[in-house]
Amino acid sequence: MAIAGPCTIDPKDPNRFYETAEALKEAGAHAVMGGVWKPHTNPYSYQGYDKALEILMEGSRRTGLPASTEVMDERNLNLAMEAGVQMLQIGTRNALNYSLLRAVGQAVAGTDTAVLLKRGRHIGPINEFLSAAEYIVNFGNPNVLLCHRGTLPSCEVYRNHPDESITPLLKEKTWAPVVFDPSHSVGKALHVEACSLAAVAYGADGLCIEANIDPVTGLGDDPKQAITPEAFRRLLQKCESIWELRS
């Protein structure tokens, strides 16, 4: 299972998102993602725009793929739920924001909306991650995907230290699908494939990958770490061979 799309939807260029979504669908993606609201370290960077939510939903409608985006607060959460986003993401910065986790759990209770919860960037015990997921599922919707995406880098080479080796530990302790995000782990398009293959070999059920038809001119993280739909297709084909071997 692969979720793919640009880090940030460019509200001035909706066609870029539609074309990316269509190319990713054609390349085998199962859900399309796009950042509407962004948790940037630098407060002067682009912070998101509500209008991008309409673009996300239109891309989902055109492709028939479920839409996924990160919500950072209850305002984002309400707008995303009203718009019908099928998979909410909780990013690493909010991984332990218990009031948001509780609000998300309440909002998705009794719906089909899934939640992709990312593990905090700071290395924490696996149980801390599982307890965060428990805050959501407690309200009755068990549809949570556990996503790890690298921890604080142990060297300057990668953006974060790829932590795909925790996949079997997560799978040992929970029934929830485990998804790996290679893009924010390595932070370099060149290494996304190797990191994805390793995660799938370790047992990951899915991948969450930044991709853009033209990464170089994309917003947010895309110039450095997004892959093209063509690279995504090749990567997914290789991962599928591993998934088959494992089954």
* Positions in the binding site for ligand PEP (CB under 6 A): 7, 35, 39, 70, 91-92, 118, 149, 181, 184, 221
**Residue nearer to ligand PEP on the CB measure, 204 or 242:** 204
221: contact with Mn ion by CB under 5 A? yes
**Residue nearer to ligand PEP on the CB measure, 193 or 222:** 222
**Residue nearer to Mn ion on the CB measure, 33 or 103:** 33
The entry of Mn ion, ligand PEP, none near residue 39 (CB within 5 to 8 angstroms by kind) is ligand PEP
Minimum separation from the CB atom of position 92 to ligand PEP (A): 4
User: Residue 2 phi/psi, 5° resolution?
Assistant: -135, 130
Residue nearest ligand PEP, CB atom distance: 91
- What is the maximum span of the chain, computed from C-alpha positions, in angstroms? 47
**Residue nearer to Mn ion on the CB measure, 42 or 247:** 42
The entry of Mn ion, ligand PEP, none near residue 34 (CB within 5 to 8 angstroms by kind) is none
Alpha helices, DSSP H, located in 64-142: 74-83, 98-108, 126-137
Which residues in this chain contact Mn ion in the complex, by CB under 5 A? 7, 221
